[in-house]
Amino acid sequence: MAVFSYDPPDRFVAGTVGQPGDRTFYLQATGSGRVTSVVLEKGQVDQLAQRLDELLDEVQRRTAGAVEIPATAPDTLTDNDPLDQPVMEDFRVGAIALAWDSDTERVIIEAQEMSEEPIEPLAEDLPEDGPGILRVTITAAAARAFAKRAQQIVVQGRPSCPLCGLPMDASGHICPRQNGHRIGRA
């Protein structure tokens, strides 16, 4: 099992390789001359971004503002650069866990390799023969910036069908709401 730990990373982003409709989604962490790239589904990227924002909002609410958490991503942390090349897949993500470390006031993101026998998320003692893990610890501001970028890359894909919400190709798609008839793009 490989554990890729970045506390903190020099860079942590979600990104894609390929054209809309045929994109591969990645989480990529860099630091100390290392680059770790893990593959995940578009829906996982979307959920991770949403859950990060929800986690930070909840921490803000529970601490009544005692912890400094920006409401939006600071412009100074905006990262619109492409993924570091070459992008080489370290593993495919099965599960993602989030946690707030109140001692360090940082967010912990753990992406675990798809596995028949997943391990306890955010465990201290990791089995030697377990799945690969990418564990990243970042500030609240960096988490907001990550979430903003992740949401942007998710919506840059194919447009959604106005009837069923499924993605449409350049020629449209076969829409289940239209009993299998093709719907063209407007």
Q: Are 134 and 31 in contact (CB under 8 A)?
A: no
Q: Give pLDDT, residue 32.
A: 93
Q: Give pLDDT, residue 22.
A: 87
Q: Give pLDDT, residue 1.
A: 67
DSSP secondary-structure letter at 177? G
Number of H helices and number of E strands within the chain?
Answer: 2, 9
Is residue 78 located within the same domain as residue 40?
yes
Q: How far apart are CA 49 and CA 145, in angstroms?
A: 10
Q: Give pLDDT, residue 73.
A: 87
DSSP secondary-structure letter at 117? S
**In the structure encoding, which two tokens stand for residue 47, read together?**
């959920």
10-residue averages of pLDDT along the chain (186 residues): 91 94 94 96 96 96 91 90 96 96 96 86 77 96 97 85 78 80 70
Q: Which residue segment(s) compose the domain that 88 sits in?
A: 3-155
Is residue 138 located within the same domain as residue 179?
no
Give 114's contacts (C-beta < 8 A, 6+ positions apart).
Answer: 91, 92, 93, 94, 131
Q: How many domains, in total, are found in the chain?
A: 2
Is residue 142 located within the same domain as residue 171?
no
Is residue 43 located within the same domain as residue 78?
yes
